[in-house]
Amino acid sequence: MKRTTIDFWVGLFALMGAAALLFLALKVSNQGALPASSTYTLTANFENIGGLKVRAPVKSAGVVVGRVTAIELDTERYMARVTMALDEQYRFSRDSSAEILTSGLLGEQYVGIASGADDKTLGSGDSFKITSSAIVLEQIISRFLFSKAAGDDNTTMEK
């Protein structure tokens, strides 16, 4: 095998490998978390975060504006503190609210931000004043069942 032939094939091999990686990078995957330089941090306290995970998206009006970077338990108030990194170009008023929503009935959970009307905006490190927790399906179901059961009991008692 001549050297130029080998070089040709090895070059082609490298090109194919690079093309495959590029395909995986551009067509198959997203670049994930926004670059650290152009983000600012906000926190929100929730009574219950349900199944929210680190790296879950933060959306406002359905548009992804950031990612959840950390979730921890505040042991003073026993609430979950969710830290998120938001894109620098999106600013939210100080009376915005954060809630934990589910995409679809059984889809992944994300943080939704509904903007308020205040002129002043939240800066880095600030936290949302108004939050609403995740809807936990089991609680809803059990509440429904309990009320139903209580109603049934009442009717039997009456009889």
Q: Which of 57, 53, 47, 129 is nearest to 92 (CA)?
A: 129
What's the order of all strands across the beta sheet hosting 79-87?
A: 39-46, 79-87, 63-74, 57-60, 109-114, 97-102, 130-132
> What is the smallest separation between the CB atom of 29 and other proteins, expressed in angstroms?
4
Pairing state of beta strands 130-132 and 97-102?
A: parallel
- The nearer residue to other proteins, 31 or 155, going by C-beta atoms, is 31
Rule CB under 8 A: which residues touch other proteins?
Answer: 1, 3, 6-7, 9-10, 12-14, 16-21, 23-25, 27-33, 53-55
- The nearer residue to other proteins, 56 or 122, going by C-beta atoms, is 56
- The nearer residue to other proteins, 65 or 122, going by C-beta atoms, is 65
> What is the smallest separation between the CB atom of 148 and other proteins, expressed in angstroms?
28
CA distance 43 to 63: 19
> What is the smallest separation between the CB atom of 96 and other proteins, expressed in angstroms?
25
Do 127 and 45 touch, CB atoms closer than 8 A? Answer: yes
- The three-point CA angle 116-130-111 to 5° equals 85
- The nearer residue to other proteins, 60 or 131, going by C-beta atoms, is 60
Do 46 and 133 touch, CB atoms closer than 8 A? Answer: yes
> What is the smallest separation between the CB atom of 15 and other proteins, expressed in angstroms?
10
- The nearer residue to other proteins, 15 or 149, going by C-beta atoms, is 15
> What is the smallest separation between the CB atom of 34 and other proteins, expressed in angstroms?
12
Helix, strand, or coil (residue 157):
helix
